[in-house]
Amino acid sequence: MANTEVCRPEHAFYCFDVLRASLHNEKHVRAPFDDARYPLFVTWNTVSRSGGRSRLRGCIGNFGAMAITKGLADYALISAFQDDRFAPISIEELPKLECIVSFLTDFEEAETYLDWDIGTHGIYLSFPAPIRSPTSYFGSSRQRSGSGSYQTLTATYLPDVIPEQGWTKLEAVESAMRKAGWNGLIDEAMLKSVKLRRYQSRTTTVRWADYVEWKNQREEDE
């Protein structure tokens, strides 16, 4: 959900400048916006030469509200260099990049794992899983019960991901459970063990060419 009052192109331009400066060992610009506090994610995509669908290149964020000046500076680099699904972004890739900044808002506890709307909500789910399940998950904590050891697996999908993938709500939840690291059977009992928080987001999207134009204009105005 785009909202230019909350999340503006300047937020993504700032992320681009932080990344460019880091790759060139330079100082980035001072944040061109007032500080505020939001949970946030920074997403990097690679844009195809044909202008078709972009491909994910890195996406990491934080669900704790943070000062956006520091949060964007930190996660612009964390998502570019530390998303273990991808190699670190290189200088040569900059002209092909697209940056999406997402500020997360309106968190609510869902009554069931299907109590949310595609195109409106992102989902953050957690569920107990036996320790025997794989260990490559989004996050976990462990506990013991009378019937054995369990870990709490967690995963999230931002609001725009689910409609892009064309999933139903059930497919999205099952995919998130796999993303969290669960490779066992997903039956109704397993689904009912899911605790789901729904949330919304305010986003902005810019590409490298937009950033270059913005940066050149800033330099002319100084």
3-state helix vs strand vs coil in the chain, percent to 5 = 30, 35, 35
| Paired tokens of 166 | 């064309």
Q: What is the pLDDT of residue 48?
A: 85
User: Which structure tokens are listed for 134?
Assistant: 């794989």
Over 50: is that where the pLDDT of 169 sits?
yes
Domain that holds residue 175: 114-193
Residue 133 pLDDT > 50: no
Residue 4 lies in a domain: no
| Range with the poorest average pLDDT among 25-39, 48-62, 103-117, 188-202 | 48-62
Judgement on whether residues 157 and 215 belong to the same structural domain of the protein: no
Question: Which H or E run contains 66?
Answer: strand 55-67
Between 61-75, 136-150, 162-176, 195-209, the lowest mean confidence (pLDDT) is in 136-150
Together in a domain, 98 and 130: no
Asked whether the beta carbons of 171 and 151 are under 8 A apart, the reply is: no
Alpha carbons 10 and 172: distance in angstroms, whole number: 31
Instruction: Tell me the pLDDT band of 148, cut-offs 50, 70 and 90.
Output: low
Q: What is the predicted pLDDT for the residue at 51?
A: 64
Partners of 145 in the beta sheet?
148
Question: What percent of the chain shows pLDDT beyond 70?
Answer: 89
In the prediction, which pLDDT does 131 show? 78
**What tokens were used for 18?**
């932080």
Confidence of residue 178 (pLDDT cuts 50, 70, 90): very high
Question: Is 84 in contact with 20 (CB distance < 8 Å)?
Answer: no
CATH number, domain containing residue 61: 3.30.700.20
Rounded Cα distance between 216 and 92, Å, is 20
Contact 81, 59 (CB under 8 A): no
More confidently predicted of 167 and 136: 167
Question: Beta partners for 98?
Answer: 45, 207
100/46 same-domain check: yes
Specify the pLDDT at position 15.
Answer: 98
CB 180, CB 155: distance < 8 Å:
yes
pLDDT of residue 146: 46
pLDDT of residue 73: 98
Percent of the chain at pLDDT > 90 equals 82
Side by side, which strands form the sheet with 195-207?
Answer: 55-67, 37-46, 97-109, 195-207, 122-130, 148-157, 139-145
Residue 95 is given by DSSP the state G
Residues 48-98 pLDDT 10s: 877 667 899 999 999 999 999 999 999 999 999 999 999 999 999 999 999
Q: Are residues 181 and 146 in the same domain?
A: yes
24 plus 100 within the same structural domain: yes
Give yes or no for residue 4 having a pLDDT over 80: no
Distance CA 113, CA 128 (A): 14
Question: 31-45, pLDDT tens digit by residue?
Answer: 999 999 999 999 999
Total number of domains in the chain: 2
Looking at the fold, whether 26 and 93 belong to one and the same domain comes out as yes
Does residue 2 register a pLDDT over 60? no
In the structure, what pLDDT confidence band is assigned to residue 136 with cuts at 50, 70 and 90?
A: very low
Within this chain, do residues 128 and 160 fall inside the same structural domain, yes or no? Answer: yes
β-pairing, 37-46 vs 97-109, is: antiparallel
